[in-house]
Amino acid sequence: MPITPIQELRHSAAHVLGAAVSRLYPEALLDIGPPTETGFYYDFGSSHRFSVEDFAAIEAEMARIIAEDQAFVRREVSRTEAQALFAARGQTFKLSRLGDIPEGEAISLYTNGDFTDLCAGTHVASTGKIGAFKLLSLAGAYHRGDEKQGQLQRIYGTAFSTAAELEAHLTSLAEAARRDHRKLGAQLKLFRVDAAIGSGLPLLLPKGAVIRAELEKLISAKLVDYGYERLYSPHIGSIDLYKTSGHYPYYAESMYEPIRIEEREFLLKPMNCPMHLMAYTAEPRSYRDLPQRYAEFGTVYRQEQSGELNGLVRVRGFTQDDGHILCTPEQLQDEFKACLRLVQEVMAIFGLKTRCRVSLRDPHNTQKYAGGDALWAPAEACIREVVAELGLEHTVGLGEAAFYGPKLDFMALDALGRSWQLGTIQVDFSLPERFELEYVGPDGLRHRPVMIHRAVFGSIERFMGLLIEHFAGDFPLWLAPEQIRFLPITDAQAEFARTLAIRARRAGLRATVDNGGDRVGGKIRVAQADKVPLLVVVGKREAEAGQVSVRSRRRGEEGVMSVDAFFERVAAELAEKEVAPVTAPAELAAPASA
């Protein structure tokens, strides 16, 4: 895939970062320095422990290299010459990367000034073309992602053609930091990740549990509408089950070590689909029984490197809103369309726009996929035909398919225009073949069903992380952990406030009373910090008249109204699952070149 101009600029900036670090820390070992979606990074092995305090000196050296307007010069060399160059410099990681280049393929070096790197390219003409740049953060990394090879230090940065674009991006990053779900999760007491429990194993606190319950309630209602039946599968399963499905060994590196029980090996459940296939085989099936739609909020466990763990969005244990459909080939397209409608309906509730990617096999590496062309061709044709019929805008990702079939992946765009990988709809002719699934057709003969794997949220934890950042913790009323807080002005109104809270709870609302000794202004400030959607002030006059004074986070002061009118107003908003506009101000939108 050709590199874009902004990627080329950022790739060049990564080389300048490598050159600057090499000047300042000559003993540093260099690994890789690629562009990313929003910037670039470079991985270093060094006895010097980098910190953000080092950024000023590194940026100053980068600025000098850019001011020197050094040309990026490409030259092809023999493998022997490249090995001699990097061996003489002690660059062991570069020697390792050199081994990745197949025999007969060109080996290219790029030089700017006194810095030479192993690189396929491409770059801008010279360092002076880089424009505006900024170093942003540090992280741990491993050579080839292998924890056994010693930790490297990754320096992240970004670069743009103009200072104005860079400034807009930095403003957007500041807003993203304000919305960081890890920070808000602690502030709003939604979840915690504690080493005493285990890295990557988030604990949802009561308020976070409310959000998850509401999300499950939403999907559960949709399951009824779309004709699914619920399953509950165990958290461990025989390794033989996953060998039959092909997940083991295809995904063995992401599974935990087997557990031995009475001479048999079991796995912490890495995915739900084999369990659902066993539900299908529990009884004989006729074409009249199909489609069979199964659904489960199934918790699975995956190995993730510690350096990649991130709050709720990258974890080791998570719950999928998993669905699997077994149908006849004739039913396949209609069932696929129904899954697509389900995803679109749910995303619309949250005000999320989605982008789609048709994820296909890599035609040059078919051995990494299960089944041959006879199984893949109709699966890929189904997705292409549905996408074309519905005029669905999409990109194509070669090599992004699951090992058992192609898929339609959904990326949701949040309030800052950032893309989050979420749900998926996958067409699978392979697993029914592996498990020898059958149904009796109208001709009285046995036939093979087709399988659809689908998830709307993908991971509920990840989706919660998205929502926390999308709404900046300011959830719509129906989703808010605490919907109403009653604020008596004095102790004399406390009993009336408690009566209102009891009425609210009996109506299924999540309501509390602030009986603290603060003045009402202080109570309001605390409730605003807690991001409670509705604050109800109860003073002497309101209590005597059976009224309340309402302040909304969305609309501001709503004035005094009767108690009945207030509860009618709440019921109307909840009935529509109304979502407040959450688009960030224009100046915070991601620059077009990002």
DSSP string, 437-495: --EE-TTSSEE--EEEEEEEEEEHHHHHHHHHHHTTT---TTT-SS-EEEEESSGGGHH
The structure tokens listed for 210 are 């409310």
At 310, the amino acid letter reads N
* Number of helical H runs and strand E runs in the chain: 18, 27
Of 119, 273, 327, 356, the active-site residue reads 273
Q: Is 148 a catalytic residue?
A: no
Distance of CA 511 to the CA centre of its chain: 31
Active site residue 407: yes
Distance CA 280, CA 432 (A): 10
Catalytic residue (choose from 10, 212, 324, 531): 324
Q: What secondary structure, in 3-state letters, does 267-280 show?
A: EECCCCHHHHHHHH
Three-state SS letters, 303-358: CCCHHHCECCCECCEEEEEEEEEEECHHHHHHHHHHHHHHHHHHHHHCCCEEEEEE
Tokens of 313: 């969005």
Secondary structure (DSSP) of 188-226: TT-EE--TTT-TT--EE-HHHHHHHHHHHHHHHHHHHHT
CB atoms within 10 A of CB 62: 26
Token pair in block for residue 318: 């998570």
Active-site residue, from 292, 320, 426, 483: 320
* From 31, 117, 321, 322, the catalytic residue: 322
**Is 364 among the catalytic positions?**
no
* 74 alpha-carbon distance from chain centroid: 37
For residue 405, what are the β-bridge partners?
402
Given 11, 293, 407, 454, the catalytic residue:
407
Pairing of strands 229-230, 292-301: parallel
Instruction: Specify whether 273 is catalytic.
Output: yes
212 is catalytic: no
Both tokens assigned to 126: 């010279």
Active site residue 327: no
Active-site pick, 10, 123, 314, 453: 453
Query: What residues form DSSP beta bridges with 537?
Result: 487, 549
**Residue of 247, 293, 302, 523 marked active site:** 302
Paired residues of 40 in beta bridges: 35, 157
Is 362 considered catalytic here?
A: no
Burial call 476-497: b when 16+ CB within 10 Å, e when fewer: bbbbbbbbbbbbbbeeebbebb
The DSSP string of 232-299 is ---SEEEHHHHHHHSHHHHTGGGSPPPEEETTEEEEE---SHHHHHHHHTTS--BGGG-SEEEEEEEE
Task: Quote the CA–CA distance of 300 and 539 in Å, as a whole number.
Answer: 51
Point out the residues that are catalytic: 273, 302, 320, 322, 324, 407, 453
